[in-house]
């Protein structure tokens, strides 16, 4: 590229950062309007949907914890399907080597996921152990044939004894898809009800506390469910969990399914039974967008658990229903894996959201992580402009600083191999009238999107110290007269220190830059004094008409690098409207000492090193130092070397920018899209924090790939900050 060309695109006037997510208006263009209300809690996030049918290898070891643990699975379902030997059937309807091989698989899988660190539920599919897994011979005999249930009862006895001997707790599922034909050819009739009733009663005789789920019908709820519920009730064999499969044949919407089954239960005066879609997602729509939509709707449904169905690689491939891709003898994450991982990031309290058309959004506030996360999915292949309106910032004062919040939007494309989601926007956004509006170009009909809101500046760099930390580099100290509180959900780590003893003090000693002390503002709070390093005292009134947990009580300004001590004094005074003079402290955040590294700095402790073909330009007033390095040569790399615990890389986002990968200390490369519908100089391209203190590197690679809307694949680097 000629020097004059790069100079032309670098000199374009900058516009507001969020504009990069928007697309130009066109007549008749598809639009969706979504909303998130941070002030309207809707219950705890439970992880419903983070479950998998046949997700593990035969011995339960795959996938490894690296892939499984970040998902926080809540349900795993299996029974040794298609393990060699054909189960109970293959052994001549007795306990032989085929049955024992399947028992061994169940025990290995259940031991792994029902114990630490997972503590997940394991549903044991008894029909798989029997051998009814669609590979059974045509002359197979099914439980209670000709009214004789004795062999079925022996099978139940042996299985329950095996679970007890192994010391594991499972949920028993008597039969999978008995209405589906291939698994139970006799269908729903006399033989089925003899099998169901005798099996449930025998399990409860042997293991009175065991959970039972059923009927595990193929398809979503229909009027047949009401008949099934009434028949089981009359026989005294209602399960603990009503289960069904949202894979076609009836509604696929968890919200509608739960409401329908609840209606049937209520009509028969039944309560205390939960629901599980222990198979979901039809075969033809297994993509990131539909997966995200399903997870959003599960979160909003009241469903207890749900497991992703298995359509290929059945039944012990260890790839979590092919959301991990087999490549060269190893597993790599797909776009759908990252969708489940994004959903797992929705922790804490779910808040009220409104979808639009086939587009759904679920959002959650986690005050401990100081994060709001929202997952956006679509079940209809929507392509167009979405607008997400996020309101209610007054209820989460810790989310803003200086009238702004930090917004990151990531795209999760539906591809078989994906190192990480692609960040399409990251920057601080002004909060106006208690809300922000985030435009998102949903140009990928099969892709999902995830949005994170965090306090500006703190998401990548600030260090938080809980009030309960009283030793170490950064710590609190308390004089006599301070009480403690724990288990308070809206406080950091659920804890606080409080006092109304006049003259009492708390200290916070730390190493770094400026600091913010966080605590409670409420109708019974008093006035506190704050001083730094024995300097002048400033006073802050903690009174508020309504409770504000994790409110910023006081912040320093302009402190130099080094070790400092903040002293908080209980004055015993209060606002005239306050009912008491309590001071309650929750935590503190310290801004680190930040070093700026210009792209032209190629030596010293913090520096850039360029390999391959890079151009350099200078004399641009809207870039750090007026300089930039750029390349569109595939495979060219830049390495940022720095000392600290984190860094942020800045550059240009524009209509002709491409996709680069970023790798920290030689680790997994993460793709970042530098495209923008309007030019943004000095844009935050990539950030990392929480590293061990020391020397680190970030390697940036020119991939030669680009957003479909981009006119070129240039990568332009401006500067970095290290802290």
| Residue 8 forms part of a structural domain | no
- In this predicted structure, which of 142-151, 253-262, 482-491 has the lowest mean pLDDT? 482-491
Residue at which a domain ends, from 287, 321, 344: 344
As a residue count, the chain comes to 723
Largest CA distance in the chain: 91
Alpha-helix residue ranges (DSSP H) falling in 312-423 = 335-344
Could you tell me if 175 and 201 lie in one domain? yes
For residue 380, CA distances in Å to 502, 678, 721 come to 62, 29, 42
Domain count, the chain: 4
**Dihedral angle sign, alpha carbons of residues 43, 46, 47, 53:** negative
> What's the whole-model pTM score?
0.67
Which of 28-42, 455-469, 503-517, 572-586 has the highest average model confidence (pLDDT)?
A: 572-586
Asked whether residue 474 carries a pLDDT value surpassing 60, the answer given is yes
| Residue 245 forms part of a structural domain | yes
Could you tell me if 60 and 36 lie in one domain? no
The three-class DSSP label of residue 517 is: strand
CA-atom Rg of the chain in angstroms: 29
- In this predicted structure, which of 50-54, 238-242, 626-630 has the lowest mean pLDDT? 626-630
The answer to whether 252 and 220 have CB atoms below 8 angstroms apart is yes
For residue 138, CA distances in Å to 134, 145, 182, 183, 185 come to 10, 15, 10, 11, 10
The pLDDT assigned to 593 comes to 67
Could you tell me if 358 and 444 lie in one domain? yes
- Residue listed under structure tokens 């970023």: 662
- Give the rounded distance of the alpha carbon of 690 from its chain centre: 19
Residue at which a domain ends, from 344, 363, 385: 344
Residue 604 DSSP label: S
CA nearest to 532, candidates 507, 511, 551: 507
Could you tell me if 312 and 427 lie in one domain? no
Could you tell me if 221 and 324 lie in one domain? yes
Q: And the tokens for 582? A: 């309590």
What is the H or E stretch that residue 272 is in? none
* Class of residue 382 by CB neighbours under 10 A (exposed 0-12, middle 13-18, buried 19+): buried
CA nearest to 362, candidates 354, 370, 434: 354
* Separation between Cα atoms, residue 71 and residue 339, nearest integer Å: 10
Could you tell me if 389 and 447 lie in one domain? yes
The pLDDT assigned to 341 comes to 96
| Residue 261 forms part of a structural domain | yes
Q: Provide mean pLDDT across the span 26-35.
A: 70
Domain containing residue 355: CATH number: 2.60.40.1180
The pLDDT assigned to 18 comes to 44
The pLDDT assigned to 123 comes to 99
Higher pLDDT, 143 or 22: 143
Average pLDDT value over all residues in the chain: 90
Higher pLDDT, 100 or 442: 100
* Separation between Cα atoms, residue 151 and residue 282, nearest integer Å: 35
Which of 2-16, 156-170, 631-645 has the highest average model confidence (pLDDT)?
A: 156-170
Domain containing residue 316: CATH number: 3.20.20.80
Asked whether residue 501 carries a pLDDT value surpassing 60, the answer given is yes
| Residue 582 forms part of a structural domain | yes
* Separation between Cα atoms, residue 710 and residue 700, nearest integer Å: 19
Residue 317 DSSP label: B
Q: And the tokens for 245? A: 């499969």
| Residue 661 forms part of a structural domain | yes
Asked whether residue 6 carries a pLDDT value surpassing 60, the answer given is no
Could you tell me if 316 and 354 lie in one domain? no
* Class of residue 634 by CB neighbours under 10 A (exposed 0-12, middle 13-18, buried 19+): middle
**Dihedral angle sign, alpha carbons of residues 452, 475, 568, 468:** positive
β-pair type (538-541, 680-688): unpaired
| Residue 1 forms part of a structural domain | no
Could you tell me if 557 and 536 lie in one domain? yes
* Separation between Cα atoms, residue 578 and residue 543, nearest integer Å: 6
Higher pLDDT, 211 or 553: 211
Residue at which a domain ends, from 424, 454, 484: 454
CA nearest to 286, candidates 337, 232, 215, 357: 337
Q: Provide mean pLDDT across the span 153-178.
A: 99
- In this predicted structure, which of 194-203, 435-444, 526-535 has the lowest mean pLDDT? 435-444
CA nearest to 352, candidates 391, 305, 405: 391
Ramachandran angles phi, psi of 223, nearest 5°: -65, -20
Q: Which residues pair with 673 in a beta bridge?
A: 659
Q: How confident is the model at residue 515 (pLDDT cuts 50, 70, 90)?
A: confident
Domain containing residue 561: CATH number: 2.60.120.260
Could you tell me if 125 and 205 lie in one domain? yes
Q: How confident is the model at residue 296 (pLDDT cuts 50, 70, 90)?
A: very high
| Residue 608 forms part of a structural domain | yes
Strand stretches in 431-547, DSSP E: 435-442, 448-454, 463-466, 475-478, 483-485, 496-499, 505-512, 515-521, 527-532, 538-541
Which letter, b or e, does each residue of 40-58 get, where b requires 16 or more Cβ atoms within 10 Å of its Cβ? ebbeebebbbbbbbbbbbb
β-pair type (628-631, 607-611): unpaired
- Residue listed under structure tokens 């019908």: 217
Asked whether residue 417 carries a pLDDT value surpassing 60, the answer given is yes
Q: Which residues pair with 253 in a beta bridge?
A: none
Could you tell me if 282 and 354 lie in one domain? no
Q: Provide mean pLDDT across the span 119-132.
A: 98
**Dihedral angle sign, alpha carbons of residues 80, 134, 279, 236:** negative
Q: Provide mean pLDDT across the span 598-610.
A: 94
Asked whether residue 461 carries a pLDDT value surpassing 70, the answer given is no
Could you tell me if 426 and 442 lie in one domain? yes
What is the H or E stretch that residue 190 is in? helix 190-206
| pLDDT tens, residue by residue, 357-410 | 999 999 999 988 889 999 999 999 998 889 999 999 999 988 988 788 989 898
| Residue 427 forms part of a structural domain | yes
Q: Which domain holds residue 666?
A: 595-722
The answer to whether 570 and 530 have CB atoms below 8 angstroms apart is no
Could you tell me if 166 and 107 lie in one domain? yes
CA nearest to 14, candidates 601, 451, 630, 650: 650
Q: How confident is the model at residue 23 (pLDDT cuts 50, 70, 90)?
A: very low
Ramachandran bin of 503, using left for φ above 0, alpha for ψ from -120 to 50, beta for the remaining angles:
left
Q: Provide mean pLDDT across the span 619-632.
A: 84
- In this predicted structure, which of 7-16, 80-89, 92-101, 303-312 has the lowest mean pLDDT? 7-16
- In this predicted structure, which of 17-31, 99-113, 341-355 has the lowest mean pLDDT? 17-31
Using a pLDDT cut of 70, give the percent of the chain over it.
Answer: 94
Asked whether residue 56 carries a pLDDT value surpassing 80, the answer given is yes
Q: How confident is the model at residue 19 (pLDDT cuts 50, 70, 90)?
A: very low
* Separation between Cα atoms, residue 132 and residue 407, nearest integer Å: 50
Quote helix, strand, coil % in the chain, to nearest 5: 20, 40, 40
Asked whether residue 636 carries a pLDDT value surpassing 80, the answer given is yes
| pLDDT tens, residue by residue, 660-678 | 999 999 988 888 999 988 7
Q: Provide mean pLDDT across the span 339-355.
A: 97
């Amino acid at each position: 590229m000629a020097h004059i060309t790069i100079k032309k695109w670098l000199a374009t006037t900058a516009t507001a950062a969020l504009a990069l997510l928007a697309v130009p208006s066109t007549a008749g263009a598809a639009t969706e309007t979504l909303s998130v209300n941070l002030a309207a809690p809707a219950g705890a996030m439970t992880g419903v949907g983070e479950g998998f049918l046949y997700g593990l290898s035969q011995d339960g070891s795959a996938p490894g914890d690296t892939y499984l643990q970040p998902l926080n699975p809540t349900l795993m379902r299996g029974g040794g399907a298609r393990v060699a030997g054909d189960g109970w059937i293959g052994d001549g309807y007795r306990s032989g080597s085929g049955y024992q091989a399947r028992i061994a698989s169940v025990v290995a899988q259940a031991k792994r996921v029902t114990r630490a660190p997972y503590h997940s539920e394991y549903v044991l599919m008894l029909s798989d152990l029997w051998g009814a897994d669609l590979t059974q011979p045509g002359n197979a005999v099914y439980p209670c044939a000709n009214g004789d249930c004795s062999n079925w009862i022996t099978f139940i006895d042996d299985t329950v004894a095996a679970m007890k001997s192994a010391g594991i707790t499972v949920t028993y599922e008597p039969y999978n898809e008995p209405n589906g034909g291939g698994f139970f050819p006799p269908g729903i009739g006399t033989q089925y009800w003899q099998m169901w009733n005798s099996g449930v009663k025998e399990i409860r005789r042997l293991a009175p506390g065991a959970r039972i789920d059923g009927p595990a019908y193929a398809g979503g709820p229909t009027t047949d469910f009401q008949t099934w519920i009434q028949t089981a009730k009359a026989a005294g064999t209602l399960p603990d969990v009503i289960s069904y499969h949202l894979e076609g044949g009836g509604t696929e919407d968890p919200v509608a399914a739960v409401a329908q089954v609840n209606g049937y239960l209520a009509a028969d005066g039944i309560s205390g039974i939960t629901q599980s879609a222990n198979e979901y997602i039809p075969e033809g729509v297994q993509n990131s967008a539909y997966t995200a939509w399903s997870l959003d709707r599960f979160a909003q449904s009241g469903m207890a658990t749900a497991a992703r169905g298995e359509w290929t690689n059945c039944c012990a491939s260890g790839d979590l229903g092919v959301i991990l891709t087999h490549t060269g003898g190893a597993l790599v994450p797909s776009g759908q894996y990252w969708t489940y991982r994004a959903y797992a990031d929705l922790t804490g309290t779910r808040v009220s959201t409104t979808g639009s058309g086939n587009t759904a959004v679920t959002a959650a506030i986690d005050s401990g992580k100081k994060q709001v996360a929202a997952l956006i999915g679509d079940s209809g292949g929507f392509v167009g402009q979405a607008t997400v309106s996020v309101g209610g910032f007054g209820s989460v004062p810790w989310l803003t600083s200086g009238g702004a919040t930090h917004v990151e939007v990531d795209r999760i494309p539906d591809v078989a191999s994906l190192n990480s989601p692609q960040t399409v926007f990251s920057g601080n956004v002004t909060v106006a009238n208690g809300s922000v509006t985030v435009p998102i170009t949903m140009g990928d009909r099969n892709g999902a999107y995830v949005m994170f809101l965090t306090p500006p500046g703190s998401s990548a760099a600030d260090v938080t110290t809980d009030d309960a930390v009283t030793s170490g580099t950064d710590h609190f100290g308390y004089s006599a007269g301070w009480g403690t509180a724990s288990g308070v959900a809206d406080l950091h780590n659920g804890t606080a220190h409080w006092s109304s003893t006049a003259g009492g003090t708390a200290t916070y000693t730390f190493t770094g830059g400026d600091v913010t002390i966080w605590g409670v503002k409420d109708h019974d709070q008093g006035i506190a004094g704050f001083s730094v390093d024995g300097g002048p005292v400033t006073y802050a009134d903690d009174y508020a008409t309504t409770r504000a947990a994790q409110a910023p009580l006081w912040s320093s300004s302009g402190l130099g690098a080094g070790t400092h001590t903040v002293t908080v004094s209980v004055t015993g005074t209060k606002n005239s409207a306050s009912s008491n003079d309590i001071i309650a402290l929750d935590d503190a955040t310290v801004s680190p000492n930040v070093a700026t590294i210009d792209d032209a700095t190629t030596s010293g402790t913090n520096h850039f090193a360029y390999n391959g073909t890079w151009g350099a330009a200078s004399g641009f007033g809207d870039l750090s130092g007026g300089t930039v390095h750029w390349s569109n040569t595939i495979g060219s790399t830049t390495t940022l070397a720095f000392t600290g615990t984190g860094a942020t890389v800045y550059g240009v986002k524009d209509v002709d920018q491409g996709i680069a990968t970023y790798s920290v200390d030689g680790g997994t490369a993460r793709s970042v899209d530098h495209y923008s519908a309007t030019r943004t100089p000095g844009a935050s391209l990539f950030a990392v924090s929480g590293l061990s203190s020391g020397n680190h590197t970030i390697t940036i690679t020119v991939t030669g790939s680009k957003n479909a809307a981009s006119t070129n694949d240039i990568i332009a680097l401006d500067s970095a900050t290290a802290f």
